Amino acid sequence: MDLSAINPLVLIASLMVASTPILLAALGELVVEKAGVLNLGVEGMMITGAICGFAIAVETGSPTLGFLAAMVGGAVLSLVFGIMTQVLLSNQVATGLALTLFGLGLSSLLGQGYMGVKPPRIHDLNLGPLRDIPVVGPILFQHDAIVYISLALVLAVWAVLKYSRLGLVLRAVGESHDAAHALGYKVVRIRILAIMFGGALAGLGGAYLSLIRVPQWTEGMTAGAGWIALAIVVFASWKPGRVLLGAYLFGGVTVLQLNLQAAGLAVPVEYLSMSPYLITILVLVVMSSDRSRAALNAPASLGRVFHASS
């Protein structure tokens, strides 16, 4: 095994790129769960965003329109979930699972004509002299715009949830929807808007996979990224800063195992490929060992059905 072939600077920079799709999806799901809704359809929204963004970018030649289309696609699919669970009062777990299956099937159908097609190339932002700073430049200042948007969204979500009236209302709905309703807040409307926000970010994460991370369209290309995003929200104890940490942890393990494969580590490829998922499971087991702490951090009304007549 030749470890000298692994460049630490490239490794860390690649970590940020690999983590971005999961970070976006997990951040959206955090907002959804803060509103008291459990949406297990993240995988379906991500894969739908991946094909919507890819198709529009290819047809129009504009990656920007592709990303916008991906957000719309994810938001529309999440709206179906929102209507089913918040208006028709269907079971959130079953509806989320159905949403994932529907998204996987729909993306497979829509992607029939895009196998082997290359999307328009997306260049990194030109940050001028910042790119040339030793060590820091190659790691932080040679990325595309979505990487920086994802980091800005982490800060924005943290600030909104902690300091704004909007965040206070959202958290109130997630902690006690009955009390929020008694105070005159439109619980169903707030939750549906939160669900659509989460869907839009999941769709954006999916488009990042198909337009930048890979970039190409293949069926099932999310490969469980939506489920990892769900796990990261729990790992993060529903806190945006920890979501960033969890996403970068998973992305780091993913990039590291790819580099170890390239370096010729004498371990079967299958073991290395499953290592990011195995480590995620182990982290969740450790986090779940203290159930009282996990229950303390979780929104009190998470997954509970709200009856507007109550």
Which pLDDT value is given to residue 141?
Answer: 87
Which pLDDT value is given to residue 148?
Answer: 95
Tens of pLDDT along the chain (310 residues) come to 555 656 777 788 888 999 999 999 999 999 999 999 999 999 999 999 999 999 999 999 999 999 999 999 999 999 999 999 999 999 999 999 999 999 999 999 999 989 989 999 888 888 878 888 888 888 888 899 999 999 999 999 999 999 999 999 999 999 999 999 998 999 999 999 999 999 999 999 999 999 998 889 999 899 889 999 998 998 888 999 999 998 998 888 888 777 776 666 666 766 667 777 777 777 767 666 665 555 557 898 888 888 766 4
Which pLDDT value is given to residue 279?
Answer: 73
Q: Where are the domains of the chain?
A: 3-297
User: What CATH class is the domain 3-297?
Assistant: mainly alpha
The structure tokens 């699972």 sit at 97
Which pLDDT value is given to residue 277?
Answer: 75
Which pLDDT value is given to residue 192?
Answer: 96
